[in-house]
Structure 1
C-alpha cells in the first residue's frame, strides 16, 4: 500500500468531499441490478477502504438504508450523488464510489461480480476474474 498517496472523492456538485489516505485494499466492479440503478450506469466500481483511511469529510449527507437491512448509503444532500456505503454490522470497511475519484489514478478493479446481469455488450478486460453471482 502507498501510504503517502492522498486522494479526494467529490460528488457531482462538489459540496460533499472525502479525503482518503493510502491506496484502497480492494477495488471491485459489479454489474448487479442494484449497482446499475445506484449509479445510473451499466456497472459500478467500488473502492474498498478502512475507516481510518478517511482523513477528512466535508459537506452535508443524507442516508438511505436498504429495506433488506444490508447496507446504508451516504449521498450528497444537494445533488444526490451516491458517495459511500457501509454494510450493516461491519464497521471495518467502507465502499466508496470509484467514479467520485476523477483523474486520480486509482488501481484497476481486481474482479467483476454479478456478470449474469451485465448488459451483453459490456466487454470485460482479458484476465479479469469474473463471477456470475457473488463470489464465494
Structure 2
C-alpha cells in the first residue's frame, strides 16, 4: 500500500464510530469460513491486519458482537451494527480491520484467502495464496514479508 495514503481514516455506516491507522497493513485477506459469511452477509469477509499500536478508535464506543467469543472480539458500531474490526486475544499485537470501513478502500486487495474449504463455489478473489483453513502459524512471518515486498513492488511502478 502506498505510504502516501496514510493515515487511513474511516468509520461505520452511520458515522457514529470512526477509526484511524497510521501504518500500512501487515497482510490482507479474504476469509471464506461460514462464520464470516454469516457475519458479513456475503461470500467472505475482508481483513486488513494492522499493528495494534497503529490503530485507534477516534470517535464513539464500539461494542463486542458476533459470538461474544473470548478468543476473537468482534467490534461493531452500537447504532448501525457495522462489523468494523476484530481483536484476536491470542495475538494482542494485531487488529483485523474490515477495509471497507475506510473512507478510501480502493487500495485493498486480498493477498491470502483462508477457509477455502468452506468457500462458495462461485466466490473468487485475486489473492496470491489460498489455504483450506488458516495458514499454519509458522507461515505468517514469511507471508507478511512477501506481502510487504509485493506491495512495495506495486508502489514503485
- Range into which the TM-score falls when normalised by the shorter chain: 0.7 to 0.9
* TM, length-normalised to structure 1: 0.86
Indicate the structure with greater strand content. Answer: 1
Shift of 1:52: 1.6
Q: What TM-score, normalized by structure 2, do the two folds share?
A: 0.76
Q: 1:70-89 maps to which residues of 2 (within 5 A)?
A: 70-89=71-90
Q: CA deviation at 1:116?
A: 1.3
- 2:26 and 2:105 map into 1 onto residues whose CA distance is 16
Alpha-carbon distance, 1:67 to partner: 5.7
Residue 101 (structure 1) aligns with:
102
Deviations 1:59-109 (A, max 9, x none): 122113746532111110100011111111322110101221253433421
Unaligned runs of 5+ in 2: 137-157
1:129 alignment counterpart = 129
**Aligned partners of 2:101, 2:80: CA distance in 1, in Å?**
13
Equivalents in 2 of 1:91, 1:45: separation in Å? 19
* CA spacing shift, 1:122–1:98, aligned 2, 3 Å: same
8 Å CA contact 1:10–1:17 kept in 2: the answer is yes
Equivalent pairs, count: 135
Provide the alpha-carbon RMSD of the alignment.
2.2
Instruction: Name the structure with the higher helix share.
Output: 2
Displacement after TM superposition at 1:10 (Å)? 1.1
Distance 1:106 1:8 in 2: 13
State the distance in 2 between where 1:77 and 1:67 align. Answer: 14
1:39 aligned partner: 40
